[in-house]
Amino acid sequence: MRLKHVFAAEFRIFVFLTFIFFPVRYMSEGGSKMQNITSLTHDKAFKAIAKECPEFFYNLLHLITGIDIKRIKAGKLLDTKFINNKKRFKDLDLLFMVDENLIINIEVSKYNGGYNLTKNTSYFCEAHKEFCRNDDGSYKSDFQVIQIVLCQNNNAGDFLIQEEYLYAETYYGQKKKIISVININLDKVTDSKYNKNVSKELLKYLTFLSITNKDELEKLSKNHNALKEVLDYMIKFDRKHGIVIRDEEDEFQAIMASERREAKELGLSEGQERGIAIGETRGIAIGEARGENKKTVESIRNMKSMGFEDNIIMQALNTDEYTLKNALSLKM
């Protein structure tokens, strides 16, 4: 508990110092505003974009998977509450239902390998398990899960786009894709060795995802409504809190509000713990006092029945006249 409080105190000192030097985040040495914005591959940012900038999100899915744009627009993001209620889905970045026969899982990965590979594999397996049945319990015949993994800054491999499939062979010798995994290495987007066979529009979207420089993003989004909408949104996006802000003052207030909420939660938690401790202490004290009082009353009455005088009783039991008279007046 003490370690928790020390950490909280140190964190608040850090926040305080951050705001003392607040202009550094926004200003360069020459006094001009810095040009970097939050990375679109930050998980909170990407989730927010999918919800708040649907045209960009739909187009991105269409360009990556080749699925008809009208079919995608008829789909829906699965409710976060639904995902959180399913324990095995609680850490998913995004889950999109195109229709009853197609689920798309989008993961943003800072490194592609080790535990991340195991985690992502478990996600598409669980998604398949969860949605592969009809309402009557029977299995769907044409069900598919597509997983898109956006990798950046992680040495994902010597590729830009890498597609892997799990096939099932039918009785007629045809192959059906049950699970498709599309790994996209954003570190290779601008490398001509890897992007020759990628459509210009998809390359524009992937480039947009891979950079954070505001000037470059403005050039890229010029005369492109979907990209411009995302850029306008991201300029105002606060990565830490997952909220939209209007200016620096709003950001300051947002962070302070978050700090107040954290302090309140910590205070309530500490208050509950202290309340329980105080309650236990008082309960014990009251119980002990009541027990001791009952014992004194019984002793007074016993000694009085044996003929002892009041002053002898008070002296023997170390009590006063008020306690003596009350004890003798009680109906037992």
Task: Annotate 31-92 with DSSP letters as a single string.
Answer: SPBP-B---TTSHHHHHHHHHH-HHHHHHHHHHHH---HHHHHT-EEPPHHHHHHSGGGTT-
Burial, 98: exposed, middle or buried (Cβ in 10 Å; 0-12, 13-18, 19+)? buried
The pairing of strands 94-99 and 102-109 is: antiparallel
pTM score: 0.62
Helix (H, G, I), strand (E, B) or coil at 312: helix
Q: What is the mean pLDDT of residues 121-130?
A: 82
- 275 or 54: whose pLDDT is higher? 54
- CA distances to 40, 136, 149, 275 from 194, rounded to whole Å, are 21, 46, 17, 63
Sign (positive/negative) of CA torsion 25, 27, 29, 34? positive
Most confident residue range from 115-119, 169-173, 243-247, 261-265: 115-119
H-helix or E-strand spanning residue 202 = helix 200-210
H-helix or E-strand spanning residue 178 = strand 175-185
Most confident residue range from 39-53, 164-178, 194-208, 249-263: 194-208
Sign (positive/negative) of CA torsion 79, 82, 86, 87? positive
pLDDT band for position 65 (cuts 50, 70, 90): very high
Task: Determine the straight-line distance between the first and last CA of the chain, rounded to whole angstroms.
Answer: 48
- 66 or 165: whose pLDDT is higher? 66
Give residue for tokens 């689920």: 103
Residue 181, pLDDT > 80, answer yes
Residue 251, pLDDT > 60, answer no
Most confident residue range from 26-35, 200-209, 259-268: 200-209
Mean pLDDT estimate for the chain: 75
- Calpha distance 145→181 (Å, rounded): 9
- Calpha distance 147→125 (Å, rounded): 10
Domain boundaries along the sequence of the chain:
1-34, 35-244, 266-329
Residue of 99, 105, 106 lying closest to 40 (CA atoms): 106
Give residue for tokens 């192959």: 175
Lowest mean pLDDT among 90-99, 165-174, 208-217, 240-249: 240-249
pLDDT band for position 318 (cuts 50, 70, 90): confident
pLDDT band for position 280 (cuts 50, 70, 90): low
Residues present in the chain in total: 332
Residue type, 196: K
Residue 35, pLDDT > 70, answer no
- Calpha distance 10→21 (Å, rounded): 17
pLDDT band for position 26 (cuts 50, 70, 90): very low
